[in-house]
Structure 1
């Protein structure tokens, strides 16, 4: 039987047992691309374009030539991450190369990159090496040590990792109050409340929702279904509830812009005409920023403000962390805890030890600390350190 099978195979159709051919590589790459979120694909392409340009200018080297040495990655970090020196901030990238990177369109402006941007570029480089089955230089001890110490050095100089403002209840309500501008306001109100009350949805998840993904249970409750997301890649549908104002806002939007198929949130044109095209991730971010601006809110607002704000408010109201994560679908407790603790500590009695006031009601539960009043006879002058 084996001889019969071999008669049907020409020598050209036989594959090498120890490696994939070009067609198989292309097919595998297509699967990876199809299974990766569009935003992630765009960020990977942008980062790889930067690596390619920097390598060509700095070393005359290409990404395809082979795995990079850890010394190249160390040079990349030193070229782009500003360090405190002689009363200023220095980095090693020559100005002529900096200008060239801007000229070819892979860099937005001259100057150092942020720590987060560099970490992202290194993560993409590691992914590139993994896809090529090459050892990643980002795993080298020299690279990890440099990053850790660089982060400490920047922190000591007052450079902190920037986080978007969290839309807890008060700023969210201020944004919602601006949604009085006809059909556009109905859409934005429903979008903001679904993204926030529905578990702090990512903008990609909001964009991906279809009309068929929502159903009404009663006047005060809707369900919406999620499929593939950043952390759930199997595509198993999970239903999440929308209640109260969020359910009412969604009903009002669908009544104003009825549809049986297509994206749940669509573009609204001048005159209040609702189109058939869905919103993009960038448009979701702009809606949040526009509503924050109309509300006169200070801060740095983005679509992520809704996600972090939901978690912070849940912590503030004492919702168990397990219930919060069931809604948000965070996989990492470390990731969610930063926002959750920020909210829960707002109501902590540990923040009012001097006054003894209840952080929620403002009423005093204990006497003020002895010596807290300048005329208190028990006041003791502090000794010098």
Structure 2
């Protein structure tokens, strides 16, 4: 790979590269499409999968095809009128209700914190280093993910050398790139030290117990208590999260995802009077529309508001 190729490669997020590569394989190998593709071929591809793939997946496939054609110097067939019309038709004939993860409530977070803290104590008393480390890691992941409103991929990309703890105040987490960081300038997220359910103390407990001097924060722990060198794969976070929810007796664990931490914090902050600007700055949202999508109000049907107006 040439020096230029290295920098071109670095300009695209790893998750995006993997998703685009998978989309191209699906188009070429599984469906049998030829590259470069004509607009009619792309339109046929969309029509062939209109019943089986979600609208969001089809959009991702189009983005991958567009990127492939641009990279290889061909005209982008996804911009053709026939492709746009077919896509609008798919959306019209196959409307889909957007699925949203259940937000994690503060009472549930407190229960998880208690359960994991007790589990650490039991594991240490039994001399089980591996179990103690896993519970410490999971506690740090939940508390940091909730109070900072991190996405799953952001949690998996945190590195020890990019975190600075400010005693009695909190800590700063630097991410070289985020989903909304279009100019690749990196972003620093501040995490408060709290009197209970503290993300800072949970992070320090995990890092010190695992003796992490640098590299990824969240890693695999094997049965013998050895801590891996690589970061937890973002795809492994969902089963980990649901496993902890089940162990903490949280109902309907299958309704939660890694976005539940982010949505849970946004809803908690909104219910506690945070203005939208402060919430956006804390979590890192660039648009109000993005922030509002994550907020669940206490009275979503406006029942209480209307009943008060009726005087009942």
1:62 and 1:152 mapped to 2: Cα distance?
28
In 2 relative to 1, CA 119–282 (structure 1 residues): closer, same or farther, beyond 3 Å?
same
For the 8 Å contact 1:195–1:201, the answer to whether it is kept is yes
Point out the structure with the larger helix share.
2
Q: Relative contact order: is structure 1 or structure 2 higher (C-alpha 8 Å, sep ≥ 6)?
A: 2
1:201 to 2:150 alignment: yes
In 2 relative to 1, CA 325–77 (structure 1 residues): closer, same or farther, beyond 3 Å?
same
Residue deviations 1:29-79 (CA, integer Å, cap 9, x gap): 4433223222211111110111112553xxxx531xx3x332222211211
For the 8 Å contact 1:73–1:137, the answer to whether it is kept is yes
Unpaired runs of 5+ in structure 2?
120-131
Paired position in structure 2 for 1:144: 84
In 2 relative to 1, CA 162–326 (structure 1 residues): closer, same or farther, beyond 3 Å?
same
1:227 and 1:153 mapped to 2: Cα distance?
41
For the 8 Å contact 1:210–1:264, the answer to whether it is kept is yes
In 2 relative to 1, CA 210–270 (structure 1 residues): closer, same or farther, beyond 3 Å?
same
Paired position in structure 1 for 2:38: 69
1:225 to 2:197 alignment: no
Q: Pairwise mapping of residues 209-248 of structure 1 onto structure 2 (< 5 A)? A: 209-219=158-168, 221-232=170-181, 233-244=183-194, 245-248=198-201
For the 8 Å contact 1:312–1:339, the answer to whether it is kept is yes
2:301 and 2:220 mapped to 1: Cα distance?
46
SS of residue in 2 equivalent to 1:151 = helix
Unpaired runs of 5+ in structure 1?
1-22, 83-111, 357-364, 369-385
Residue deviations 1:162-192 (CA, integer Å, cap 9, x gap): 2333324244334334324322111111111
Paired position in structure 2 for 1:346: 298
1:79 to 2:48 alignment: yes
SS of residue in 1 equivalent to 2:144 = helix
1:72 and 1:190 mapped to 2: Cα distance?
48
For the 8 Å contact 1:263–1:277, the answer to whether it is kept is yes
For the 8 Å contact 1:116–1:161, the answer to whether it is kept is no
Rg comparison, structure with higher value: 1
TM-score (norm 1): 0.67
TM-score (norm 2): 0.81
